[in-house]
Amino acid sequence: MRVAHSPLHARHDGGKELHRGELVPCFEMPVRADYILKAVERAGFKVSEPRPFTQESLLRVHDARFVEFLRTAHAEWRAAGKEGFMLPSGFPARSLRRDHIPSGINGRMGYYSFDASTPIVEGTWDAALAAAGCALTAAAWVAEGDKSAYALCRPPGHHAGHSLYGGYCFLNNAALAAQYLRDHGFARVAVLDVDYHHGNGTQDIFWERSDVLFVSIHGNPETEYPYFLGYADERGGGAGEGYTRNFPLPRGTGWKEYSATLAAAMDVLGGFSPDALVVSLGVDTYEGDPISAFKLATGHYPLMGQRLAELKLPTVFVQEGGYAVEEIGTNVAGVLEGFLSRR
């Protein structure tokens, strides 16, 4: 399995996040990718830098004004006399207007974001663009005949919507990979999100589409981030009705309950008869993760990979969360090696 990875991910560093009422260093940090890179290299995977892609590739899933905001945000921040990282201080919540985009940088930051846990720093755009390139490169390899590929993306992407960033995510890498596969010969693509947190951005992007199925297993939004999406009754809208399926699980879920839910999710995937699969691979389901509450152990990740291989589909793995940094590489490599052991 080939791995797409860019050292430019390290340019997204130095910000802080508002976590449960406290301003703290970000849990999403560059060392996450470093540990994963070492683990996949030890496992013998071939690592390559991503191919170049035009900015127009991003517009297949993202709004053009949103992309331009991300590209220029920190430069505008500096031009306004500010230094350091950017966090929003106001959002278009209930009773406030959402039909007008403010001209000032502070207003636009709040308009395009949905939390204060996702700082923009000077190198954020470079890192986010490189992560998108990794996802597009892995999808291209599969479109060109590889049976599977892995995009070692950082920052992650599944919380980023059509015109929205948050949850450490700026561009939706998994959605970009799925759209690339659609554009290059795969009529039906499924996205399976196994991150602890619901992939609200991916759901948003494909909500009204029947050619891309979105299935997510995640912590119950009654108590878990992002709180306001990810309920079981969300099933898509318009032409996409029935093509979104959510499997929320309670805090403390272990492998027995998780594996049964994974089997149910795979039944949904099989019923869709996809031509290719994109896996939003978050390993923050790990029992030692500092911001999550499932109880999967390191030995369960190869089992997950083996299960996914049973679908016998061309598969693109796209890295999402996982914040127990010393274990993240072992857990990611476990999924990939388990997958390959059954192919």
Instruction: Report the catalytic residues.
Output: 159
Closest Cα partner for 179 from 62, 64, 71, 265? Answer: 62
Which helix (H) or strand (E) is 127 found in, with range? helix 124-143
Residue pair 211/297 in contact (Cβ under 8 Å)? The answer is: no
Q: Give the DSSP letter string of 278-317.
A: EEEE--TTBTT-TT----B-TTHHHHHHHHHHTT---EEE
**Angstrom distance (rounded) from CA 188 to CA 312:** 15
**Angstrom distance (rounded) from CA 14 to CA 253:** 33
Length of the chain: 343
SS3 for 218? strand
> Looking at this protein, which amino acid is placed at residue 216?
S
Whether a cis peptide bond, with omega within 30° of 0, leads into 155 is yes
Closest Cα partner for 59 from 69, 50, 67, 48? Answer: 67
